[in-house]
Structure 1
Amino acid sequence: MNSKEQPKGRLATLRGLQPFLAPYKKQFVLAGIALVIAAGATLAIPYAFKQMIDAGFGAAGAAGAKNAAHIDLYFIALFGVACVLAVATAARFYMVSWLGERVTTDLRGAVYSHVITQSPQFFETTQTGEVLSRLTTDTTLIQTLVGTSVSMALRNALLFIGGLVMLFVISVKLSSVIIVLLAAVVLPIVVFGRRVRKLSRASQDRVADASALAGEILNAMPTVQAFTHEGDEAHRFRSSVERAFETAMQRIRARAALTVIAILLVFGAIVFVLWLGAHAVVRGSMTGGELGQFILYAAIVAGAIGALSEVIGDAQRAAGAAERLLELLSVRSPIRSPAQPEPLPARAANSAALTLRDVGFRYPSRPQTPALSHLSLDIRPGETVAVVGPSGAGKSTLFQLLLRFYDPQQGQIMLDGVDIRRLDLHALRGAIGVVPQDTVVFSANALENIRYGRAGASDEEVIAAAKMAAAHEFIEKLPQGYQSFLGERGVRLSGGQRQRIAIARALLKNPPLLLLDEATSALDAESERLVQGALQAAMAGRTTLVIAHRLATVQRADRILVMEHGQVIESGTHAELIAQGGLYASLAALQFSQDAA
């Protein structure tokens, strides 16, 4: 994935999140107001304590009795400050938490919406488990940053600045000593902060690796169990999570060291300065109230520095997460709709003309191996064309190019006379119905799985399509009929039943171009007979391309194309190709002998 646009290894990466923060300026302003009020109330508390100590407890005699009369007023004022602090802190917490949840939701939606528009080329090199890790783990880190860390950073920055100003107001000498000592704390915090960022990125990568491995294995459990590899896969996953644990522990140790160094240096400096202050009180150059006030402000400053060191750690982790998410968002699919797409011409009937001119294609992951070479075809509206040939001949590749999952490196493909690269992707794919060999059934009920073919279809239309695909009978026998949940990836159905669901989906779409990729390969003889009849009705008057090995499908085609090594080497009807005695004849003879056996 291309990440050149994002500055690696710097908190500047977080600037890439600005488009997700910009829509909520009002909420940020309200949170900022609450934050300033809360910080001001916090800074007012030490001053109130100073007044109580000096005016209430530091006087004697009649003046002391007079000042003592004001103690109640000071305590009421202190409680009032505490009330303001409580309300402002609660308001700040609510606003920043809302912002964290809102921005994270927007970010997850944007990443997911972006990923599902990528071409298959993207998924050749990116594991789905890694994408899921970025959608969950990485966005959670961003949520922590926006919903907690930014607010904490601003609050503690205000407390640090305000506390520092008050320290100088009380004693320039003591405050100057503290500044010099605190300056010596910055260097180790910066050095360890960089190490924490690097280890955070590595830790997130290891978690993504483990998620990708788990996702791959869980989606292949029947195969894993059939080959009795449960123990091996469990060991592989344990090794992967152990690597993630080791990397995480390195990060935790580095962050713990950062915390220890920051707190020890900061509070060591403060203790030293307070020792100087105690001697000043003894000498009479500072009152007890001023020393108490100085102690509280020094504690506020120290606490702010400690909190800022924690926030820096969170920000470093979030920078690594943001870098990974922005890398994902920066990926641009090579397959996109043109800026000004051409419309498809109006058709007299529900069928389309298809033309291929000198098409050549190599998969991006296998650039040295041609999948199609100088392929030219003319398919008339309403024609049914069967495509046969050995595995690797380019049959499925042809279908992928027609759907524009990839673009050919040479030549052009035209639908109704329009180059498909000049069509809107949704318009192109909306004109094509597909029944794949590897049927996808979603975790939904039967009704919604078939309705996936046309979202606005009524229940009656869905049921009619199921009847055409010979799926109505077995669906009716499910526990809740069409409302029955089919399980993840359709595990509650047999292979033939899943394929009939896919056929019903394509029939419901009612497209002018129908692509059948081994549409009856998983059916028993009776189901195949029923589906063949349904497919014949569906193909009537519609342009159809059929990939098939079974002659029951092939023999009914208007024309048969025989492919080998990405080229059409024979073309004709079943009888003509048998008479030629070429590759098709040998494939037919082999199948006849197998059927006879």
Structure 2
Amino acid sequence: MARFKENDLPKAKLNTSSLQKALRIFKYSKNQKWKFFVGLLFLLLTSATALAFPKLMGMLVDCVSTKDLDKANQIALALMGILVLQAVFSFFRISLFVNFTENTLSNIRFALYENLIKLPMSFFSQKRVGELNSRISADISQLQDTLTTTIAEFLRQFILIVGGFIILGSISPNLTIMMLCIVPVVAVAAVIFGRFIRKYGKMTQDKVAESQVIVEETLQGITNVKSFANEWYELERYKNKIREIVAIAIKGGQYRGYFASFIILCLFGCVVAVVWYGITLTIKGEVEGVGDLISFILYTTFIGASFGGIAEMYAQIQKAVGATERVFELLDEVPEAINTQPNPNSVQKIKGIVSFKDVAFSYPSRKEIKVLKNVNFNAGFGQKIAVVGPSGAGKSTIASLLLRFYDIESGEIIIDGKNIYDYDLEELRGNMSIVPQDVILFGGTIKENIAYGKPNATNDEIIAAAKQANALNFIESFPEKFETIVGERGIKLSGGQRQRIAIARALLKNPSILILDEATSSLDSESEKLVQEALEILMQGRTSIIIAHRLSTIRSADQILVLDNGIIAEQGTHQDLITLENGIYKNLSNLQFSNS
């Protein structure tokens, strides 16, 4: 699966602009740059020793004709010395590049995550989590491969090609011209041909994956298949897909056969042609001896292999540059002004007197739709303000604006007589807690999830919060008690248990303003009773904004706001609103209580 994703990574065109963006990576290497440049030095030394190898091999072969054993021994020792040097140089090159890459990428990963977590909600409302995750995983992995090996290999192959041609030219210009006419052309043709065949292989894989989807869908929906007696239809669908797989696979097989024939005829034919022409020139005396011919053949092999490899390396570098651009797109996003190392004791406590004055708002992704239109209301210290209305009326938007997840278009939100935008985000959100309908817990322990509201809380404070939230009994019933792992997103706990953990978390934070976003709407009667009792304790002595579907939970609210189509259509206590003829609240109330 990882390979499939890597193949699917888009490539960027290599030009001055894209390369300049890619070079920004070095900004994140900090004091590690020297490792990259020393690694490059070892790369040059590795390439130089590699280029010396064929020349010495040719000289060793020439010792046969001169029958000079001492010279042969010296050259053999020199060859072994070169291999040792190449091994040492390669070790330091790889070690330095890996060290540079890992340190640099760890800085990029952290900077990316730091920027990502500080971005406003307007950004997250327009991006998919999977896409963002891919930036941190697939794109960074592509950079890792490229910085660790691809760039080094690309440069090494390039040095071997250039150096090889220079040495070949010094051995025999005529033979070099002949080799230049056929070997690089055939090597590049082999790369293009190979890529074409891989594309056919990928098409076959895609078709097999499509056929698996049919099997999965059929088995998951087997009840529908059986009830409609549509077995024949599913069989026909699967059979057609299998026929497509067979047709593509056979075609791919034919091309693989052509490729094998091409390798045998052309690539090996090239070697035969170069050797034949070399022998001809040696016989004519234009090439000095068999040793030079052996050196020439080895250099030709190096160059052919390098031509084949460099095309693939270039494609990898294009992908890496594309990955760099996508990573820096995220790093260039403007974050919220949040201090990432706040002091929990530095948050100034507010009273929690809230006023909305002519507040209008549209979501950034849907500018044409006014979600709130000149909304006005006041919430005094310790009051319970309930917000009701049909779905899409803008109830949850009020909570989002209070938390400054989004910027309002016009009007003012005032807290304790001070504009909401005059507060630091830590101070504002540090005085608020939200208990949502769908509680998402982190995958650690119950204790860690409760302490999320106050990371420096003592054990006694955590136990007290759990007790007030009606959560202590069920926590104590687990064998591991507070050390119980809740599972991903809290999956090991029931809905009511998750809600009470969220309430304990909010209690521990001790907020001045509490937001309850339909906190009991998805619970059964027994869980709702326990959660409602915990919420009553939580709401004491603080301003509460209660977004509700179930009107039974808000009868005791000091003020009920009835939102309809972005405006406050009705406002008052339960008793006030229940007396309004044809009122929205009265109709909602009659509907709910008659059903119950």
Residue ranges of structure 2 left out of the alignment (5+ in a row): 1-9, 214-218, 340-345
Q: Which moved more, 1:409-418 or 1:155-164?
A: 409-418
Does the CA-based 8 Å contact 1:350-1:542 persist in structure 2?
no
User: Secondary structure, in 3 states, of the residue corresponding to 2:364?
Assistant: coil
Residue in 1 that maps onto 2:557: 557
Which residue, 10, 13, 17 being the options, matches 2:13?
A: 10
Q: CA deviation at 1:424?
A: 3.5
Does the CA-based 8 Å contact 2:184-2:307 persist in structure 1?
no
- Tell me, yes or no, if structure 1 residue 57 matches structure 2 residue 64: yes
Q: CA deviation at 1:349?
A: 6.5
The structure-2 alpha-carbon separation of the partners of 1:164 and 1:406, relative to structure 1 and needing over 3 Å to count, comes to same
What is the aligned residue count? 549
What is the alpha-carbon distance in structure 2 between the residues aligned to residue 508 and residue 441 of structure 1?
Answer: 15
Residue in 2 that maps onto 1:314: 316
What is the alpha-carbon distance in structure 1 between the residues aligned to residue 256 and residue 415 of structure 2?
Answer: 60
Q: CA deviation at 1:101?
A: 4.1
Does the CA-based 8 Å contact 2:447-2:483 persist in structure 1?
yes
Residue in 2 that maps onto 1:276: 277
Percent of pairs with identical residues = 37
Q: Deviations over 1:382-432 (max 9, x none)?
A: 332122223222111111111222222222323333333444333332221
What is the alpha-carbon distance in structure 2 between the residues aligned to residue 184 and residue 277 of structure 1?
Answer: 19
- Tell me, yes or no, if structure 1 residue 592 matches structure 2 residue 593: yes
What is the alpha-carbon distance in structure 1 between the residues aligned to residue 187 and residue 149 of structure 2?
Answer: 23
Residue in 2 that maps onto 1:160: 161
The structure-2 alpha-carbon separation of the partners of 1:338 and 1:49, relative to structure 1 and needing over 3 Å to count, comes to closer
The structure-2 alpha-carbon separation of the partners of 1:115 and 1:227, relative to structure 1 and needing over 3 Å to count, comes to farther
Q: Deviations over 1:2-27 (max 9, x none)?
A: xxxxx974034454332333413122
The structure-2 alpha-carbon separation of the partners of 1:175 and 1:397, relative to structure 1 and needing over 3 Å to count, comes to same
Does the CA-based 8 Å contact 1:450-1:508 persist in structure 2?
yes
Q: Deviations over 1:453-483 (max 9, x none)?
A: 2222222222211111111111111121111
The structure-2 alpha-carbon separation of the partners of 1:361 and 1:174, relative to structure 1 and needing over 3 Å to count, comes to same
The structure-2 alpha-carbon separation of the partners of 1:17 and 1:388, relative to structure 1 and needing over 3 Å to count, comes to same
The amino acid that maps onto 2:570 is E
Does the CA-based 8 Å contact 1:100-1:144 persist in structure 2?
no
Residue in 1 that maps onto 2:43: 35
RMSD: 4.3
- Tell me, yes or no, if structure 1 residue 26 matches structure 2 residue 34: yes
Q: Which moved more, 1:297-306 or 1:121-130?
A: 121-130
What is the alpha-carbon distance in structure 1 between the residues aligned to residue 593 and residue 495 of structure 2?
Answer: 24
Residue in 2 that maps onto 1:216: none
The structure-2 alpha-carbon separation of the partners of 1:76 and 1:490, relative to structure 1 and needing over 3 Å to count, comes to same
Residue in 2 that maps onto 1:387: 387
What is the alpha-carbon distance in structure 1 between the residues aligned to residue 527 and residue 503 of structure 2?
Answer: 12
Residue in 2 that maps onto 1:427: 427
User: Secondary structure, in 3 states, of the residue corresponding to 2:453?
Assistant: coil
What is the alpha-carbon distance in structure 1 between the residues aligned to residue 399 and residue 60 of structure 2?
Answer: 84
Residue in 1 that maps onto 2:441: 441
TM-score normalized by the length of structure 2? 0.79
Does the CA-based 8 Å contact 1:20-1:106 persist in structure 2?
no
Does the CA-based 8 Å contact 2:433-2:506 persist in structure 1?
yes
Does the CA-based 8 Å contact 1:8-1:323 persist in structure 2?
no
User: Secondary structure, in 3 states, of the residue corresponding to 2:560?
Assistant: strand
User: Secondary structure, in 3 states, of the residue corresponding to 2:371?
Assistant: strand
The structure-2 alpha-carbon separation of the partners of 1:152 and 1:256, relative to structure 1 and needing over 3 Å to count, comes to farther
TM-score normalized by the length of structure 1? 0.79
The amino acid that maps onto 2:593 is F
- Tell me, yes or no, if structure 1 residue 46 matches structure 2 residue 51: no
User: Secondary structure, in 3 states, of the residue corresponding to 1:11?
Assistant: coil
Q: CA deviation at 1:161?
A: 2.0
Does the CA-based 8 Å contact 2:515-2:544 persist in structure 1?
yes
Does the CA-based 8 Å contact 2:432-2:511 persist in structure 1?
yes
Matches within 5 A, 1:100-119: 100-119=101-120
Residue in 2 that maps onto 1:78: 79
The amino acid that maps onto 1:68 is L
User: Secondary structure, in 3 states, of the residue corresponding to 2:57?
Assistant: helix
Does the CA-based 8 Å contact 2:187-2:267 persist in structure 1?
no
Q: Which moved more, 1:121-130 or 1:154-163?
A: 121-130
Q: Deviations over 1:360-389 (max 9, x none)?
A: 122334333321111122223333212222
What is the alpha-carbon distance in structure 2 between the residues aligned to residue 230 and residue 492 of structure 1?
Answer: 33
User: Secondary structure, in 3 states, of the residue corresponding to 2:444?
Assistant: coil
